[in-house]
Amino acid sequence: MATAAEHPLKSIFDRYPFLHRLIVLSFLIYVICLFGLAALVLRDGISVETDIQAIVPQNSDPVIKVANHVLEQRFGNIVMLVLAGTDKQKVRECEKILREELSKRQQLKVRNDREIIESYQELIKVYQPYQFTLLSESDRRLLRSNRSEKIIQAAWRRLLSFQTGHPVSHFAKDPLGIFDNYYNGLPFMRGIPGIDAEGFVEVITDDGVVSYARPIVIEVNGKAMDMTAQNELVSYFDAVQQSAQSRYDRVEFYRTGLIFHAENAAVKAKKEFTFISLASMLGIVLLFLVCFASVRPLLLSILSLLFGFAAAATVCCYFFPRLHLITLVFGASLIGVVIDYSLHYFSHMENIDASDRLATLKRIFPSIVMGVVTTVVGYACLYQASLPGLREIATFCIVGLVSAWLFVTCAYPWLAGKRAIYFPGFIYQAAELPERFWSKLGGRRSLIFVSVVFIAAAAIWFIYGKAENDIRLFYKPPPELMTQDIKIRSMFSQQAANQYFLVKGVSAQDLLQNEEQLVNELQRQVRSGVLDSFTALSQYIPSIELQKGDYLLLSKTLYAHGGELEKFILQAGIEKEFLEIFLKSQSLAELRHLEPEDVLTHMPQEIRDLWLGEQNGLFYSMVFLGGINSLEPLSNIADNNESVTFVDRVQSLSELLKRQYWQAIILLIAGYAVIGLIVITRYRRIESLSIVLVPMISSFLLLGILSLLSVSIGLFHILALYLALGLGLDYGIFLYDSPADRKTMVAVMLSALTSSLSFGLLSLSSTPMISAFGLTVLGSGILSLLLAPLLIKAGREPNVPVDSETSSV
Amino acid sequence: MRLRFSVIICAIGFFVSDLALANDSRFENITSKILTQYNYIEGKFEQERTLQGINRVIRSNGRFSIWRDNGIYWETSKPLFQATSFSKGSVYYWTDESNCESVKNDSYQISEKISQLMLAFFTADLKQLESDFEVIGKNTNKGWTIILDPSNMYVSKAVNRVTISGAEHVEKISLELATGDHTNIWLQVTTKGDKPDAENQNRILAAYLNEYCAE
């Protein structure tokens, strides 16, 4: 039977006296490197990322990455304020005041209807030279179906009726209004569905009251804002809104924009970081004062914590683009884990003489080595999930742990003093409580009871457990922001931020032709109510093939000699020279075609964004979608068209998380198997598997309890079980190696208490993934602490009736 | 919000006179006379258009019917038949004497707005109309003249100025369009009364009743 005395690490410093010096030397080099890194980090400035998207996995397809980036740029810096009221005039007055106020702030660009209209007027000049190759969809349909009389009727209306002019073009340049129809038919000229001619949307409340809503769209300059700038801006919006609201009490305000969510998440995360850090520290201070009744252990422990935390922050700041606030929140839980090494050290301190400073370290070295290895392995498992946020968290925690471990190993022998520390009696009694509990219950009966509960819990999880793996794991918007988002979405058909089509072609023209096919299909989907609208580049730049066809169609019908135009001109009594000049300019335009480069630079940004250009030898564009009511038909379009990809970021993320969820479960099972083999190899007894049973049974029990409480189990619960495995193994190994050591029991209990405190606080986080992680580690940690004495004792002494024993210590 | 300028202008001829009258108390008297004395008026009009790049004036004429709170029917007879009905939030074009169709606007609300504006003129709903123009009014020996400069940017992209003149009724409307085209319309009221006859009722309300008109 393996005992603590036989532990190979126990005498390692005696066998290799230089080893500790080597570790100390490495520690010093490490500290120097950290200082170097810190200098570099401070030189570049520390910036904390608050954008929740930074921790969400990105698509691996490089073109989709580019497209997503475009989309993020497009939506990331837009704020929409909506004013609504029953009196249009009041809403308009309030809007005017708000616009004036918002325009004063340099950071903001308030989208102005006048500028938009003027930019569209300017675009007429860009399109005009190509007017003979451009046909509106309705005119094309009429000409193809030989119903040109409709176009002629409209031309007469233009000519005779007092109500119409030719705002797009002069009569002389476009007598039948063909170009007028084309330009006015462009999607941006058709207006936003649901908005009336004064720019209001009619909203009917639940009480049946009709009110009118007006949007103000604002661009926030500079996406990557730090927390302070974000806070300032949101406070500014609050102040402007309150000021306007006080003057127009009957006008209601709604707002939406990523900045509000980012600010909300950042403020919450900052509060949580502060709360978790302070509460953990307070708990540990109290624990140390009660247990050790001395300031030195407390100060040293805090020093080791600070060193671990500073090292982790420095390394992450250097190796990751920006330190995410969520990492800091998660990192706060390190306090409860890192403190273990100090706890073990001081728990095992005895009176030593100056000649053997390493005496305590020698005693605890196997435990803290195993402790750091198992916990690091637990955190390292987070790397398996290809989530950028988790990688940063894992790096932070591993660096923090190893740094604190090094600090304890290297600095404590010199700084910790030479006098033994004795715990108060009640601490020992508390540590022995679980074992006494099982003894009282009857060891064998306890084992049967635990086994039954374990099987039941596993069955409950398998049968009733619900898996949930979607974007909600990363961010849960607060109800007040969600309500406003939903309200605004119900008023205005907004462009989908997470779904779009990606179209490709071997050339720009091939791309446009492919897009035209997609546009035809999307028009059918709009008619059948699958979506409200869409925006495609080919709606603004027809392919040359289509332009050639349209030119030919016009030449053969309206503009043919003796055609409808000629009849119209003659009937209107206009001189024939005019006709000749017009038709000559038409024939000269045969080879003049509108191409992307002619018009793209003049287009509004929202349309330029659609063009992704050449990527890896192919040409790409995006088709934006608005008011999606059903995703499946859109997905089906892409399934039947090789040149089209339907990108659904929410769905992709859910699928990725689901895949990783099952991978994590399989890997966890494999991990248990490997660890089981290692334990058997190390202890050469099948009963030693009880060490592995501690975290395993705890994990199943926890999953069963969570399932009973209708908590959905997600990827982060499973990933947390890796850490739970590490912590549970620690408890098992310590107890297995030192069965009669009361101090080990105390150390294990204190270690479990500090971990539970930190992860318990983490479970209060408003970020679902952090909360899931905290809850899982907390629950399984407590269960491991409770079960470890029973299982380890049963494993160490299988032939001794457990219920006949009393406490062995 | 993007208006179809071409459609917007159709409202101008009708509501400008009301705005002008709001400028002066003497106008208000005339307004009240026109607007409240009769529920229904009809008459004839002559129109001349001068188009940029065309060395010929395009002349047309026809008739109109205006029924307060209900709608308007505007019909060009020469050189060929063209007619439009504005009623209760709709604009309909007549394709011949007995058939009409809805204005093909992607945004239905534009038609509604135009229709509302024109009805607002005849119901003296000045508040609704005032927001689109700056109004300068003056009395002349024969009556009054009103100059309307668009304050609404959408209207200003289509029209530079509208001038209305008249005495007991609006007699002439001049439109200077942003494209440089000019339109002059002379109106002559021939019938005044409480309500139109059955045929004109049908003309005005055809769209609303949806009897003749296709959506």
pLDDT in tens, A341-373: 888 888 887 766 656 778 888 888 877 887 788
Higher pLDDT, A81 or A330: A81
Nearest to A111 by CA among A80, A70, A71: A80
Nearest Cα neighbor of A609 from A598, A623, A599 is A623
Q: Return the structure tokens found at B28.
A: 């208000």
Q: How far apart are CA A34 and CA A56, in angstroms?
A: 29
Q: Flag whether residue A90 sits within 8 Å of chain B, measured between CB atoms.
A: no
List, in order, residues 6 or more apart from A436 with CB less than 8 Å away: A807
Q: Note the maximum CA span of chain A.
A: 121
Q: 3-class SS at A541?
A: coil
Scanning B12-71 for CB atoms below 8 A from A yields 12-13, 47, 49, 51-56, 58, 60
Pair A682, A348: CB distance under 8 Å: no
The CATH class given to the B5-214 domain equals mainly beta
**A165 to chain B, closest Cα gap in Å:** 6
pLDDT of residue A4: 41
User: Stretch A493-505: mean pLDDT, rounded?
Assistant: 85
CB A39 within 8 A of CB A309: no
Share of chain A above pLDDT 70, in %: 92
Q: Quick one: pLDDT at residue A539?
A: 92
Tell me, what's the pLDDT at A215? 86
Between the CA of residue A633 and those of A524, A529, A646, B111, what are the distances in Å?
A: 11, 11, 10, 33
| Binary contact (B76, A198; C-beta < 8 A) | no
From the CA atom positions of chain A, what is the Rg in Å? Answer: 35
What is the nearest CA distance from A189 to chain B, expressed in angstroms?
Answer: 6
Contact A167 B52 (CB under 8 A): no
Helix (H, G, I), strand (E, B) or coil at A763: coil
Most A CBs within 10 Å, among B51, B93, B94, to test the A interface: B51
* Residue B129: closest CA among B11, B42, B28: B11
Q: Tell me if B177 and A158 make a contact (CB, 8 A cut-off).
A: no
* Residue B109 with chain A: CB contacts under 8 Å: 195-197
The answer to whether B153 contacts A114, with C-beta atoms less than 8 Å apart, is yes
Q: Per-residue pLDDT for A808 more than 50? A: no
How far apart, in whole angstroms, are the C-alpha atoms of residue A86 and residue A204? 10
Give per-10-residue mean pLDDT for chain B (215 aa).
36 34 51 60 90 85 85 87 78 78 53 54 52 72 77 73 76 82 87 86 70 56
> Which tokens in the block code for residue A425?
């009696």
Name the token pair of A557.
Answer: 């019908």
Mean pLDDT of chain A: 84
User: Dihedrals φ, ψ of A612, to 5°?
Assistant: -95, -10
Q: Which of residues 184-243 of A touch B (CB under 8 A)?
A: 184, 188-193, 195-199
**pLDDT tier for residue A193 given thresholds of 50, 70 and 90:** low
pLDDT on residue A167: 64
Distance CA A434, CA A440 (A): 10
Which residues in chain B are closer than 8 Å to A152, comparing Cβ atoms?
none
Within an 8 Å CB–CB cutoff, is residue A117 touching chain B?
A: yes
* Domain spans in chain B, listed from the N-terminal domain onward: 5-214
| Residue of A138, A163, A172 lying closest to B10 (CB–CB) | A163
| pLDDT one-digit tens code per residue, A28-86 | 999 999 999 999 988 877 777 777 667 777 777 889 888 888 887 777 788 889 999 88
The sign of the dihedral angle between the CA atoms of A766, A771, A775, A781 is negative
The partner residue sitting opposite A157, judged by closest CB among B58, B93, B110, is B93
Chain B residue with the nearest C-alpha to that of A87: B128
pLDDT value at A565 more than 90:
yes
Of B8, B114, B181, the CB nearest to A166: B181
Q: Between β-strands A618-628 and A611-615, what pairing exists: parallel, antiparallel or unpaired?
A: antiparallel
pLDDT of residue A520: 92
Listed in sequence order, the DSSP H helices in chain B are 5-21, 25-37, 108-122, 126-130, 153-156, 198-209
Model pLDDT, residue B11: 36
| Chain A residues lying within 8 Å of B107, measured CB to CB | 190-191, 193, 195-197
> According to the per-residue pLDDT averaged within each range, which of A249-263, A396-410, A566-580, B179-193 is highest?
A396-410
Task: Find the mean pLDDT for residues A325-336.
Answer: 76
Half-sphere exposure of A29 (CA within 13 A, CB side): 6
- In angstroms, the CA A567 to CA A560 distance is 11
pLDDT recorded at residue B22: 43
Burial class (CB in 10 A: 0-12, 13-18, 19+), A29: exposed
How far apart are the C-alpha atoms of A475 and A388, rounded to whole Å? Answer: 15
CA dihedral A96, A99, A100, A105 (to 10 degrees): 170
Distance CA A605, CA A622 (A): 13
Q: Across-strand partners of A618?
A: A615
- Per the CB < 8 A criterion, the answer to whether A697 and A704 are in contact is no
Residue of B nearest to A168 (CA): B179
A–B CB contacts, 8 A cutoff, strictly below: 147
Neighbours of B155 (CB within 10 A): 21
User: For residue A399, what pLDDT is reported?
Assistant: 95
Of all residues in chain A, the percent with pLDDT exceeding 90 is: 24
CB contact under 8 A, B6 and A193: no
Q: Is the pLDDT of residue A207 over 80?
A: no
Amino acid at A696: M
- Sign, CA dihedral A162-A166-A170-A174, equals negative
Q: Cβ of A190 and B5 within 8 Å?
A: no
Contacts of B9 in chain A (CB under 8 A): 162-165
A512 or A683, greater pLDDT? A512
Out of A344-353, A510-519, A717-726, least confident range:
A344-353
Q: Is A152 exposed, middle or buried (0-12, 13-18, 19+ CB in 10 A)?
A: middle
Top-confidence residue, A200 or A697: A697
pLDDT at A165: 43
Closest-CA residue of B relative to A577 is: B54
The predicted pLDDT at position B106 comes to 40
Shortest CB distance from B113 goes to which of A197, A572, A574?
A: A197
- How much is the average pLDDT of A719-748? 81
Angle at A726 between CA A724 and CA A732, to 5 degrees: 100
Nearest-angstrom CA–CA distance, A607 and B56: 41
> Angle at Cα A242 formed by Cα A240 and Cα A246, nearest 5°?
120
| Amino acid type, B29 | N
